[in-house]
Amino acid sequence: MDMPNIGMGTFRLKDEVAYQSVLTALELGYRHIDTAQIYGNEAQVGQALSDSGITRDQVFLTTKIWRDNLDKTKFLDSLRSSLEQLQTEYVDLLLIHWPVDSPELSLEQSLTELKYAQELGFAKRIGVSNFTIAQLERAISVLDSGSIFTNQIEVHPYLQNQKLRQFMQSQGIRPTAYMPLAVGKVLEEAALVTMADKYQVTVPQLVLAWVIQQGMDTIPMSTKRQNLLSNLQTPALNLTAADLAVFAGLEQGLRLANPSFAPQWD
């Protein structure tokens, strides 16, 4: 199956909250679930998938290999552990969560392990997350652009990542926007509230529609049934040039995911 353009992100969801949120999302019709080793909720995601009664081939499942597991001695073992917790023999998409490039572990080594995991049948598709243009160029030299399904990057009205997105699209790499609602900051943006009223949608629906119109997929996170349903029901809006100019005017380079090990951003 192709990746649905709106999925459910599970960052920061733990234990019973993670389980119930994913189970609710699946009941509401979500068929794209995103998790990661570092989230510590793969077991809960796997149990929710199992308990949902939905067949495995009807859900697009993504997980990500954490930085500590990118070495050849750990990569496959950590992936097998993830698959066991997820109660599946494969994921639809496997990503390198954050790039590592050091004397001990080159970017090329971890990319080679990623490709090997796909060749073994553990992942239908492979990709990366938080890669810069320079790092994508290196990834393309190892994997070729056709093998890199997506690069998950932070995108919201306050950080639009235009340069990186344009490069990705020129290479046929799908941008997946995480934190599309800027951890709720967009909800009180007056210009967006006015525009949402014009289209008779919620502000989150407006922002998600903008993300999709820009050619991106996205994985918003929520624990509330009403919000999960509202996000999934985001209509396809035909935002005008004037609307898009309003969005463009909100760019301020506000990066919310910027840990100490982050790359040198474009």
pLDDT of residue 145: 78
pLDDT of residue 227: 98
Q: CATH for 8-248?
A: 3.20.20.100
Which residues are annotated as catalytic?
A: 39
Confidence band of 144 (pLDDT split at 50, 70, 90): confident
Model confidence at 23, pLDDT cuts 50, 70, 90, reads very high
Quote the radius of gyration of the chain (alpha carbons, Å): 18
Q: SS in 3 state form for 154-192?
A: ECECCECCHHHHHHHHHCCCEEEEECCCHHHHHHHCHHH
pLDDT score of 116: 98
Q: Is residue 65 over pLDDT 90?
A: yes
pLDDT at 162 exceeding the cut of 90:
yes
Report the interhelical angle of 42-52 vs 75-86 (nearest 10°). Answer: 40
pLDDT digits (tens, 9 = 90+) for 164-185: 999 999 999 999 999 999 999 9
The residues spanned by each domain of the chain are 8-248
Residue 13 has pLDDT above 90, yes or no: yes
Residue 153 · residue 97 · CB < 8 Å? no
